[in-house]
Amino acid sequence: MSGYAKDRPTDDTPFERMRYYIREIGQGPKAARNLTRDEARDAMEMILRQDVTRAQMGGFLLIERFKGESPEELLGFADAVRAHARRISPKVDGLLDIGSPYDGRRRSFVVSPAASIVACAAGLPVVMHGEKDLGPKHGIPVGDVLEALGVDVDAEPAEVKSSIEEVGFGYMRSARFVPDLFALRDVREEIALRSGLHTVEKLYNLAGAAYSLIGLTHMPYLEKMLAAATQMGFKRVMIVQGIEGNEDAPTSRPCRVFEWAGGEMRESRLDPSQYDLAPAAPEAMAGGDAAYNAAACEAVLQGDDGPRRDLACLNAGLRLYLAERAADIGEGIAKAREAIDSGAARRKLEALRERARARAAV
């Protein structure tokens, strides 16, 4: 830090500023320093505006990954992305934001769309978000499953806001909401690894939600992710180390859950055996393409019994508990089951399909 002021470039062009930031973070474990929040925002602003070279963009993102982004840096990155975003403020009470990994999953059933629609049918407004075919995993993202279910996943912000207000559910596509970030997909593909952008996308809260559910892959990211998420305007945040490192808790084993509310964090182990749930065997958990996952989700919403229903109910119950629509997870699971058994979940899906059909007909 002592060399910070005198090493600052006198040439204030984006090219030289980015060279300076790369030098500061790239000196190795002993000499490198974390950027301040303002510096991180400036660096990310230059990347989003594409004011610097592609080599600088890739170099900066990769060095940050290997150094490890600090909470202040993640906040600076989020500040820049949010400033470039088309944000909405739906007039609903207690909106829940689902922070699914944008690059999807490959090996397992994508239960999050079914669980979110069930929670919505139980009275909880929900917003999901993502993008198509993002690396490095290039898995099946939640948006592809929703699209295969007949839900509109390419709507403009005003239409998404209206959908959340009128139906209780919306999907925000990155290309529509953060076009400057979407424009970086080729650079992100070239560097072949996740970067801080993948973290920011999970937690940037473009709809002004009160509650946040986020998936966690690697434990070392917990503290910094939580520190950043708690400054995104959420009342309560839950981070789940779930299936393939996403936000979906399994029924076949316990998983770690981290809850933040009122300035305090609490860690617990979610043990599904406490809730009279059928553990999902490997064949029930097997993944597939978007159509396969959509068919499995629809079967749950239509009332089919079995381990996938229990998987959806556990995760819908978790959502209802997080968003203070249930006193505990057990009550949330009971409400989820009622939403399916009463036909409310099936009707919610049909309402979303009807909106999609109406927009397509215009």
The half-sphere exposure of 84 on its side-chain side, counting CA atoms within 13 A, is: 24
Residue 91, in any domain of the structure: no
Domain-located, residue 336: yes
pLDDT at 164 over 90: yes
Q: Angle formed by the axes of helices 37-48 and 54-67, to 10°?
A: 140
Does an H or E element contain 85, and which? none
Q: How far apart are the first and last CA of the chain?
A: 58
Candidate from 152-156, 196-200, 282-286 with smallest mean pLDDT:
282-286
Residue 318: enclosing H or E segment and its boundaries?
A: helix 307-322
Say if CB 82 and CB 206 are below 8 A apart: yes
Question: Do 190 and 242 belong together in one domain?
Answer: yes
Q: Which residues contact 310 (CB under 8 A, 6 or more apart)?
A: 251, 277, 278, 280
Average pLDDT over residues 215-239: 89
Whether pLDDT at 233 is above 60:
yes
Q: What's residue 339's pLDDT?
A: 98
Interval 112-139: pLDDT, tens: 999 999 999 999 999 999 999 999 999 9
Domain of 127 in residue numbering reads as 96-354
Rounded to the nearest 5°, which phi and psi values hold at 313? -65, -40
How confident is the model at residue 19, as a pLDDT?
Answer: 96
Shared domain check, 260 and 138: yes
Residue 5 lies in a domain: no
Q: How far apart are CA 108 and CA 286, in angstroms?
A: 5
Domain boundary among 84, 110, 138: 84
- Is 362 inside a domain boundary? no
Answer whether residue 174 shows pLDDT above 60. Answer: yes
Residues 283 and 102: their CA atoms lie apart, in Å, by 25
Do 295 and 187 belong together in one domain?
yes
Query: Strand 96-99 and strand 211-215: pairing?
Result: parallel
Report pLDDT digits (tens) over 2-25: 344 457 777 899 999 999 999 999
Report pLDDT for 131. Answer: 97
Question: Mean pLDDT highest for which of 261-270, 283-292, 345-354?
Answer: 345-354
Q: Are residues 201 and 289 in the same domain?
A: yes
Domain for residue 3, yes or no?
Answer: no
In degrees, rounded to 5, the angle at the alpha carbon of residue 319 between the alpha carbons of residues 313 and 322 is 140
- Average of pLDDT values for 77-101? 97
150 and 31 together in one domain: no
Answer yes or no: are the C-beta atoms of 298 and 291 closer than 8 Å: no
pLDDT given for residue 3 in this prediction: 41
What pLDDT, on the 0 to 100 scale, is given for residue 5? 46
pLDDT at residue 104 greater than cutoff 70: yes
Confidence of residue 234 (pLDDT cuts 50, 70, 90): very high
- 113 found inside a domain: yes
**Reported confidence tier of residue 219, pLDDT bands at 50, 70, 90:** confident
Q: Are residues 202 and 278 in the same domain?
A: yes
Rg from Cα positions in the chain: 21
Q: What average pLDDT does range 330-348 have in this prediction?
A: 98
Domain boundary among 63, 84, 105: 84
d(CA 278, CA 297): 17
- Mean pLDDT within 190-219: 93
Q: Do 108 and 228 fall into the same domain?
A: yes
Residue 331: pLDDT band (50, 70, 90) is very high
Please state, in angstroms and as integers, the Cα–Cα distance from residue 32 to each residue in 3, 25, 28, 264, following that order: 11, 5, 5, 31
Domain-terminating residue out of 48, 64, 84: 84
Q: What is the pLDDT of residue 82?
A: 97
Which residues have C-beta within 8 Å of that of residue 85, sequence separation ≥ 6? 177, 178, 181, 204, 206
How far apart are alpha carbons 201 and 195 in whole angstroms? 11
Q: In terms of pLDDT, which residue wins out, 169 or 221?
A: 169
Q: Domains in the chain: how many in total?
A: 2
Decide if pLDDT at 218 tops 80: no
Position 220 scores a pLDDT of 78
Q: What CATH number did the domain enclosing 350 receive? A: 3.40.1030.10
Averaged over 225-251, what is the pLDDT? 92
Exposure b/e, 243-266, CB count within 10 A at least 16 = b = bbbbbbbbbbeebbbbbbbeeebe
Domain of 32: which CATH number? Answer: 1.20.970.10
* Domain presence at residue 4: no
Residues 238 and 326 in one domain: yes
Give yes or no: residues 70 and 107 share one domain: no
Q: Please, what is the average pLDDT of the chain?
A: 94
- Tell me the C-alpha distance between 111 and 247, whole Å: 10
Assess whether 125 and 49 both reside in one domain: no
20 plus 149 within the same structural domain: no
Given a cut of 80, whether residue 1 has pLDDT beyond it is no
In this predicted structure, the answer to whether residue 309 has a pLDDT above a threshold of 60 is: yes
Residue 176 lies in a domain: yes
Return the ∠ at Cα 175 (arms to 169 and 181), rounded to 5°.
Answer: 120
Q: Are residues 100 and 80 in the same domain?
A: no
> What's the rounded mean pLDDT across residues 163-174?
98
| Other Cβ atoms within 10 Å of 319 Cβ, number | 29
Q: Report how many helices (DSSP H) and strands (DSSP E) the chain contains, helices first.
A: 18, 7
